[in-house]
Amino acid sequence: MDDFSKAISFLKSAKRVSCLTGAGISAESGIQTFRDKDGVWNKIDPMKWATVQGFLEQPREIWLWYEQRREQIRNTAPNPGHFALSKLQTHFEHFSIATQNIDGFHQLSGSKNVQELHGNIMRNKCFDENILLEDFDCNTIPPKCHKCGAYIRPDVVWFGEMLPQDIWEQAYEDARNCDVYFVIGTSGVVYPAAGLATIAKRSGAKVVIINKEATELDMRADAHLIGLSGEILPKLLEAFLI
Ligand code: BV8
């Protein structure tokens, strides 16, 4: 039985399905990935652009970089891969998505039960008080908190920062209690997110990796679907519904 047929048979006998997604599922929407050859981290140093230290060293540049990424995301949309996942979701007792992506495209394409492990680029918070804010003093770049005057920062998880505890715990529980675990469009190098695939595997789930190339998590795969997620996921949905 080929891996595509295996993935369908896993789904046909599953009640609980969970997913870990990464930048690859949004690539066909035109959003750059991080570690592909034309990826974000091949042009800039993540330790300078996605850390607290980096923000404190060059707050204006980092704020403008996030503004530029927000604009790019506003000018694009979820792709067939996102929509196929949201349609698949309705056929299971429990279906959840733990995403490393900060673009909000799973929710925008109709998926429910989405855990944003690394935050969401469209939300902002006070750097000092760590509270989400929609209204702040925009006379400076970065803007400042009305209450305490600290910088405003994007509500994303930078390297060296803890993931939101409640969101991590939910993603962890879902990986431990599922029949099938999809790992879609992630290189599997960033922890603790990448560790969810191992947790799922060790808890008895069938792991299905969807990626256009090899990943660090391939040894966990019970089925490995090589190709573009925007093409594979609609085909999986179609074959599952037959
Ligand atoms: C943490 C958000 C606990 C912001 C990102 C030293 C100190 C502290 C921690 C560490 C340390 N050393 C290591 C760590 C752990 C560190 C880590 O894992 N580092 C790695 C690089 C070694 N992790 C952390 O710091 C995490 N926090 O550990 O806290 C702690 C706290 C304090 C002290 C100790 C411990 C926080 C990590 C979150 C970092 N935030 N970004 C922003 O985006 O601006 S990183 C970035 O990587 C994104 O979040 C991204 O989602 C994530 C994972 O990348 P991927 O999504 O996998 O994307 P990538 O480009 O890599 O791969 C894309 C894949 O898709 C490829 O496989 C490609 O083939 C495939 N693909 C492409 N197109 C398609 C496709 N597949 C299918 N179809 C397609 N069309």
- The confidence score (pLDDT) of residue 187 equals 96
Instruction: Enter the tokens of residue 130.
Output: 């760590």
Q: Which atom of ligand 1 is nearest to the CA of 69?
A: 44
Q: Model's pTM, two decimal places?
A: 0.97
Whether residue 113 contacts residue 95, with contact meaning beta carbons closer than 8 Å, is answered with: yes
- The confidence score (pLDDT) of residue 20 equals 98
In the reported structure, the alpha carbon of residue 34 is separated from the centroid of ligand 1 by a whole-number distance in angstroms of: 8
The label of the residue with tokens 């929407």 reads: 29
Taking residues 194-219, report their average pLDDT. Answer: 96
- The confidence score (pLDDT) of residue 167 equals 98
Residue 137 has pLDDT above 90, yes or no: no
Helix or strand (DSSP H, E) at 116? strand 114-116
Task: With CA atoms as reference, report the closest residue to 220 among 212, 210, 208.
Answer: 208
Instruction: Enter the tokens of residue 6.
Output: 């295996």
Q: Which of 43-47, 92-96, 175-179, 234-238 has the lowest mean pLDDT?
A: 43-47
- The confidence score (pLDDT) of residue 180 equals 98
Instruction: For the chain, give the percent of residues with pLDDT over 90.
Output: 97
Beta strands 119-126 and 132-133: pairing type? antiparallel
Among 82, 91, 106, 118, the one annotated catalytic: 118
Q: Which atom of ligand 1 is nearest to the CA of 28?
A: 80
Residue 181 has pLDDT above 90, yes or no: yes
Residue 221 has pLDDT above 90, yes or no: yes
Would the CA dihedral through 122, 25, 95, 233 be positive or negative? Answer: positive
Instruction: For the chain, give the percent of residues with pLDDT over 70.
Output: 100
- The confidence score (pLDDT) of residue 98 equals 99
Ligand 1 pocket by C-beta < 6 Å: which residues? 22-24, 27-28, 33-36, 39, 50, 100-102, 118, 156-162, 185-187, 189-192, 211-213, 215, 228-230
> What is the overall mean pLDDT for the chain?
97
106 is catalytic: no
Alpha carbon distance 9, 108 (integer Å):
29
Spatial strand order in the sheet of 16-21: 114-116, 94-99, 16-21, 180-184, 206-211, 223-226
Determine the distance from the C-alpha atom of residue 25 to the mean position of all C-alpha atoms in its chain, rounded to a whole number: 8
